[in-house]
Homo-oligomer: A and B are copies of this chain.
Amino acid sequence: MSLLTIGTMAFDDIQTPFGHAEKVIGGACTYITWSASYFTNSISVSSIVGHDFPDAEIEALKSRGADLSGVEVKMDGKTFFWAGKYHDNMNQRDTLATDLNVLDDFNPILPDSYKACKYIMLGNLTPAIQAQVLDQLDGSQKLIALDTMNFWMDIAMDELKKVIGRVDLLTINDEEARQLSGEYSLLSAAEKIHEMGPEYLIIKKGEHGAMLFHKGKIFYAPALPLALVKDPTGAGDTFAGGLMGYLAKTDDTSFENMKRAIIHGSAMASFCVEEFSIDKLKTLDEEKINARVQQFKTMTDFSL
């Protein structure tokens, strides 16, 4: 089934205890699309880049089967740029620079061929732009997923809640779930968030895994413990890409299949963090992915 991915394509400058990656490829949409491309080659991408974004990166995504006709190339502007530095524990980071550049003019006009995509992944963006994308869809969608962050809760909570009310699946982290709901217990937070609209909620907990909430049911997926985490940037987007790619491939939104989708998303995220930027995501294949998915099964399986 067809998947539409929307979000940023960017240059990142990333400092972690393991090195400094200068002006490397980043952006939510980039990670989402690379990750999803291992599950489906029917991906339509909506984003914006400047004159400085490498053609080779566009071609690399096209060679994965993605349709990039909805990616605007603004020749008089520069690509969105983000610089960040991770603390020693890798769980916290400081933003050193955010240059919106062409992102300031992002006005996604979907090509007609995009509007009937069955699976939609709205990457982290201003809620207004996420709503604008939803306005253009033809209403035939099977599952619309939205990712967001605390920044929008701080400055645009009302707008954010409106767009959350229009989607089927929300992915946020635990602190964001608490902020959005006003509840500390994730169980109570999930109840409140379901009332806002999404019947599926995924709470991401980084190195502690992810939890799926749906109609009173809970699934807890661990993260894979790794010997080396070089760069956590894009892990959440890679997770979302694997999840939505798997759903688009299998075209099954049952709770049981959603669990499998989360495990596949978690496996993709575990690859992502092992190298800077999208370096590791470019090197995968079905065999490597399946082997890692099996590790999740082995790690959580028990009989009573």
Interface residues of A (CB under 8 A from B): 88-90, 184-188, 205, 208-209, 211, 218-222, 225-229, 256, 259-260, 263, 293-294, 297, 299-300, 302-304
Pair A186/B293 contact, Cβ less than 8 Å: no
**What's the least CB distance linking A18 to chain B, in Å?**
11
Assembly stoichiometry (copies): 2
Pair A228/B304 contact, Cβ less than 8 Å: no
Closest 6 CB pairs of A and B: A208-B208, A220-B222, A259-B302, A187-B225, A187-B227, A220-B299
A-B contact pairs, 27 of them (CB 8 A): A89-B184, A90-B184, A185-B225, A185-B226, A185-B227, A185-B228, A185-B229, A187-B225, A187-B226, A188-B227, A208-B209, A209-B220, A209-B222, A211-B225, A218-B225, A219-B300, A220-B222, A220-B225, A220-B299, A220-B300, A221-B302, A222-B222, A256-B303, A293-B304, A294-B304, A297-B302, A297-B304
Pair B218/A299 contact, Cβ less than 8 Å: yes
**What's the least CB distance linking A93 to chain B, in Å?**
15
A198 to B219, CA, bound (A): 32
Given contacts A188-B227, A221-B302, A300-B302, 11 further A-B contacts (CB under 8 A): A88-B184, A89-B184, A185-B229, A187-B227, A208-B208, A208-B209, A209-B222, A220-B225, A256-B303, A263-B302, A294-B304
A212 to B218, CA, bound (A): 22
**What's the least CB distance linking A234 to chain B, in Å?**
19
A229 to B299, CA, bound (A): 27
| CB-defined contacts of A88 to chain B, threshold 8 Å | 184
Residue of B nearest to A218 (CB): B299
Residue of B nearest to A189 (CB): B225
| CB-defined contacts of A302 to chain B, threshold 8 Å | 219, 221, 256, 259-260, 263, 297, 300
**What's the least CB distance linking A259 to chain B, in Å?**
4
| CB-defined contacts of A259 to chain B, threshold 8 Å | 302
| CB-defined contacts of A300 to chain B, threshold 8 Å | 219-220, 300, 302
Identify the interface centre among A218, A220, A304: most chain B CB within 10 Å of its CB. Answer: A220
| CB-defined contacts of A293 to chain B, threshold 8 Å | 304
**What's the least CB distance linking A144 to chain B, in Å?**
23
| CB-defined contacts of A299 to chain B, threshold 8 Å | 218-220
